[in-house]
Structure 1
Amino acid sequence: MARKDTTLSRRRIEGLIADGRSIIIADGMVLKVDAWMKYHPGGDIAIRHMVGRDATDEINALHSPEAKLQMQKYCIGRIEGTWKNFTPPIQYGKFRPHIEECTDLDNEEDQVQSHTSSKTSRTPSPVFDGPASVLLKEDSHESISSASSVSSVSEQDDGMSYFDALTKEQIDLDLAKYPSLDAKIQDNIVRKYRELDQRLRTEGLYDCNYYAYAVEACRYTFLAAASLMFLKWGWHATSGLFLGCLWHQLVFTVHDAGHMGITHNFTVDTTIGILIADFIGGLSVGWWKLNHNVHHVVTNSPEHDPDIEHVPFFAISHRFFESLTSTFYNHVMWFDAFAKFVIPYQAYLYYPILLFGRFNLYRLSWVYLILGQGPKKGPAWWTRWLEIAGQVFFWYWYGYVVIYKTIPTGWGRFAFIMVSNMVTMPLHAQITLSHFSMSTAELGPAESFPQKMLRTSMDIDCPQWLDFFHGGLQFQVIHHLFPRMPRHNLRRTQKLVQEFCADVSIPYALFGFIDGNKDVIGRLGEVAQQAVILAKCQKTIAERGDILHGH
Structure 2
Amino acid sequence: MPLPTSVTARKSKSLSRRQVEGLIADGHAIVVVHGKVLKVDAWLKYHPGGDKAIMHMVGRDATDEVNALHSPEARKCMEAYQIGQVEGLWENFLPPIQGGHFRAYIEDDEKLQHSDENFDLSSSQNSSRSSTPSSDGSIPLIRRRGPGNATESPSSSSISSLSSSSAVERKAETIPSYIDAWTKQEIDLDLSAYPPLDPVTQDEIVQKYRLLHDRIKAEGLYECHYASYLTEICRYALLFGLCLLFLRWGWYGTSDTVIGIIIADFWGGLSLGWWKRNHNVHHIVTNSPEHDPDIEHLPFFAISHRLLLSLRSTYYDRIMSYDSFAKFFVHYQSSLYYVILAFGRFNLYRLSWEYLILGLGPRKGPAWWHRWFEILGNIVFWYWFGYGMVYKGIPTPWGRFVFVMVSHMVTMPLHVQITLSHFAMSTADLGVRESFPQRMLRTTMDVDCPEWLDFLHGGLQFQAIHHLYPRIPRHNLRRTQKLVVEFCKDVGLPYALYGFVEGNKEVIGRLADVGRQAAILAQCQKAVSEKADLGHHT
TM-score by length of 1: 0.89
Partner Cα separation in structure 1 for residue 214 and residue 404 of structure 2: 47
Amino acid paired to 2:159: Q
Aligned to 2:442: 455
The higher-RCO structure (CA 8 Å, 6+ apart) is 2
Partner Cα separation in structure 1 for residue 187 and residue 61 of structure 2: 26
1:293 to 256, 280, 284: 280
Is structure 2 residue 9 aligned with structure 1 residue 22?
Answer: no
Amino acid paired to 1:191: Q
SS at match of 1:335: coil
Is structure 2 residue 133 aligned with structure 1 residue 115?
Answer: no
Aligned to 2:15: 8
SS at match of 2:332: helix
Contact kept in structure 2, 1:160 and 1:534, CA below 8 Å: no
Amino acid paired to 1:112: D
Instruction: State the shift of 1:210 in Å.
Output: 1.5
Query: Which deviates more from structure 2 when the two are superposed, residues 57-66 or residues 102-111?
Result: 102-111
2:347 to 356, 360, 363: 360
Partner Cα separation in structure 1 for residue 146 and residue 515 of structure 2: 15
Report the CA distance shift for 1:145/1:105 in structure 2 as closer, same or farther (over 3 A): closer
Contact kept in structure 2, 1:205 and 1:489, CA below 8 Å: yes
Is structure 2 residue 481 aligned with structure 1 residue 484?
Answer: no
Amino acid paired to 2:119: Q
Contact kept in structure 2, 1:86 and 1:115, CA below 8 Å: yes
Instruction: State the shift of 1:470 in Å.
Output: 1.2
Instruction: State the shift of 1:148 in Å.
Output: 3.7
Aligned to 1:235: 251
2:399 to 412, 419, 429: 412
Amino acid paired to 1:492: R
Aligned to 1:268: none
2:261 to 235, 239, 245: 245
Aligned to 2:89: 82
SS at match of 1:369: helix
Partner Cα separation in structure 1 for residue 150 and residue 52 of structure 2: 40
Aligned to 2:171: none
Aligned to 2:134: 137
Aligned to 2:76: 69
Amino acid paired to 1:94: H
2:521 to 525, 534, 548: 534
Contact kept in structure 1, 2:133 and 2:147, CA below 8 Å: no
Is structure 2 residue 440 aligned with structure 1 residue 424?
Answer: no
For structure 1, list consecutive stretches of 5 or more residues without a partner in the other structure: 121-127, 252-275
1:512 to 484, 499, 517: 499
Is structure 2 residue 381 aligned with structure 1 residue 374?
Answer: no
Report the CA distance shift for 1:142/1:92 in structure 2 as closer, same or farther (over 3 A): closer
SS at match of 1:30: strand
Contact kept in structure 1, 2:132 and 2:146, CA below 8 Å: no
Instruction: State the shift of 1:149 in Å.
Output: 4.2
Is structure 2 residue 381 aligned with structure 1 residue 394?
Answer: yes
Contact kept in structure 1, 2:153 and 2:178, CA below 8 Å: no
SS at match of 2:45: helix
- Alpha carbon RMSD of aligned pairs, Å? 1.9
The C-alpha deviation readout for 1:489-538, integer Å capped at 9, x for no partner, is 00011111000000000000000000000000000000000101111221
Report the CA distance shift for 1:512/1:548 in structure 2 as closer, same or farther (over 3 A): same
Instruction: State the shift of 1:230 in Å.
Output: 0.4
Partner Cα separation in structure 2 for residue 494 and residue 117 of structure 1: 33
For structure 2, list consecutive stretches of 5 or more residues without a partner in the other structure: 1-7, 161-173
Instruction: State the shift of 1:472 in Å.
Output: 1.0
Contact kept in structure 2, 1:24 and 1:30, CA below 8 Å: yes
Contact kept in structure 1, 2:18 and 2:116, CA below 8 Å: no
Aligned to 2:148: 146
Amino acid paired to 2:356: L
Partner Cα separation in structure 2 for residue 244 and residue 513 of structure 1: 21
Is structure 2 residue 200 aligned with structure 1 residue 184?
Answer: yes
2:326 to 316, 320, 339: 339
Contact kept in structure 1, 2:133 and 2:146, CA below 8 Å: no
| Identical-pair percentage | 61
Is structure 2 residue 319 aligned with structure 1 residue 317?
Answer: no
SS at match of 2:202: helix
Contact kept in structure 2, 1:6 and 1:78, CA below 8 Å: yes
Amino acid paired to 1:402: M
The C-alpha deviation readout for 1:47-84, integer Å capped at 9, x for no partner, is 00000000000000000111101100000011111111
The C-alpha deviation readout for 1:266-311, integer Å capped at 9, x for no partner, is xxxxxxxxxx4xxx21111000100000000000000000000001
Contact kept in structure 2, 1:8 and 1:77, CA below 8 Å: yes
Contact kept in structure 1, 2:132 and 2:304, CA below 8 Å: no
Aligned to 2:167: none
Aligned residues: 511
1:441 to 428, 438, 441: 428
Partner Cα separation in structure 2 for residue 407 and residue 94 of structure 1: 59
Aligned to 1:156: 159
Instruction: State the shift of 1:175 in Å.
Output: 1.7
